[in-house]
Structures are given as C-alpha cells and as structure tokens.
Amino acid sequence: MKKIEAIIRKSMFSKVKEALHKVGVNFFSYWDVTGLGNEKEGHVYRGVSYSTSDIQRRYLSIVVNDDFEDVTIKAILEAGATGKVGDGKIFVSQIDDVYRIRTGENGINTLK
C-alpha cells in the first residue's frame, strides 16, 4: 500500500477531485494549509499592493493499493498542473498495514 500526499493549489482542487473519482479513488482526506514556497502571492488591500510569503494550498492524503499508485499520481499531475511556479508537490510513502476500526480486520481489503 502507498500513501500519496499532495499539496495543490486550492483553485485546482475541484479538477483534481474529479480526476481522482474518474480513476476510482473515491476516498481521501484533505484540509487547507498555509505554507512557504518559491511562489509569492500578491495581495491588494485598500488599493495598496503587497506581497506575502504565506501561500494558501490544499493538502490531500490518499492511501491506495500498490496497483493504484501510478493512476492516482497521474490524475493529480494532469488535473493539478497550471504550468506555473507553485503548482505543488506529491509525496509517496510506503504503508505497512491498515486496520478497519469497526471490525478490527487489517490488510488491503480494508481500503475497499
């Protein structure tokens, strides 16, 4: 099993979510995060433009069977890309085991 963590633009979340559903990834967690990166967002407040290093993003956490790793990553890459600095990152790590709390069962069948 793999854990795929992605940090994407908030504006691209709907497209990424739709792309994940199309490839069969129907369960994942997400939340809004603030981070620092190479992109600097400009803001205008009362007619004054200023730059900030705090960047708003959406963080996705997805656990998939090994055979879904490539299609999941491809879906995020294709749907989340704008071609500009700040599109985000994808991190992949190995998951040793998973347990379903309700029944106590473990293994890959708990992801279905």
For 84-102, the pLDDT digits (tens) are 888 999 999 999 999 999 9
For 51-72, the pLDDT digits (tens) are 556 778 999 999 999 999 999 9
Overall domain count for the chain: 1
The larger pLDDT score, comparing residue 108 to residue 89, is at 89
Please tell me what DSSP assigns to residue 106. B
CATH number of residue 73's parent domain: 3.30.70.120
Q: Look at residue 112 and tell me whether its pLDDT is greater than 90.
A: no
Rounded Cα distance between 52 and 40, Å, is 6
Phi, psi of 61, rounded to the nearest 5 degrees: -125, 120
End-to-end CA distance of the chain: 12
Domain span holding position 23:
2-111
